Amino acid sequence: MLEFAVQWVKDNIKREDGQAMAEYGIILALVAAVVITTVALLGNQILNVFSTAGATILGVGYVLPLLYLTWSLRYGEVAGNNPWQATGLEWQIQSPPLTENFVEIPVMDHDAYDYEWLERQKEKEVTTSVG
């Protein structure tokens, strides 16, 4: 991290004969002036302001997922048995699963991320349903 900061300072000193560093210095001074003014005006109230702002952000963080959940429960589509077209064994059963999960013990003849296997399975289903 320190090497990055040193390199950044060197690059910006070279650029435009130090003009960039002067601009960054002015911006830093303005930010410091705003912080000092805010602390001077609010005094001990600054902690209350930060606490209120944090609580507000936290509240929005709780409310938004609840709104998304309500929306999806009301208007969302049912995902189905395998919405991500995954090839792992846990995605080859129905949803909700049977009590025993599988009627017969499955034999894994492919890897968990073998998506060509899934394509071959789909082709077999199409040819068996057509033929």
Structural domains of the chain, count: 2
Same domain, 55 and 103: no
Instruction: Report the alpha-carbon distance of residue 27 to residue 108 in Å, rounded.
Output: 62
The answer as to whether 37 is a domain residue is yes
Instruction: Report the alpha-carbon distance of residue 81 to residue 95 in Å, rounded.
Output: 5
Same domain, 48 and 20: yes
The answer as to whether 81 is a domain residue is no
Q: Which residues contact 80 (CB under 8 A, 6 or more apart)?
A: 95
Same domain, 35 and 65: yes
Q: What percent of the chain has pLDDT over 90?
A: 22
The parent domain of residue 14 ranges over 2-75
Q: Of 13-17, 87-91, 97-101, which range is least confident? A: 13-17
Same domain, 9 and 71: yes
Same domain, 70 and 96: no
Instruction: Report the alpha-carbon distance of residue 119 to residue 125 in Å, rounded.
Output: 10
pLDDT digit string, tens, across residues 8-65:
777 766 655 556 677 788 888 999 998 888 888 877 787 888 899 999 999 999 999 9
The whole-number pLDDT of residue 19 equals 62
Contact (Cβ atoms closer than 8 angstroms) between residue 7 and residue 16: no
Same domain, 39 and 95: no
What global pTM score does this model have?
0.42
The whole-number pLDDT of residue 65 equals 95
Q: Which residues contact 86 (CB under 8 A, 6 or more apart)?
A: 112
Same domain, 64 and 24: yes
Instruction: Report the alpha-carbon distance of residue 27 to residue 114 in Å, rounded.
Output: 54
Same domain, 61 and 8: yes
The answer as to whether 105 is a domain residue is yes
The whole-number pLDDT of residue 95 equals 79
The answer as to whether 82 is a domain residue is no
Quote the tokens at residue 74: 């009301």
- Which of 21, 23, 26, 27 has the alpha carbon at shortest distance from 9? 21
Q: For 100, what's the count of Cα atoms within 13 Å in the CB-facing half-sphere? A: 5
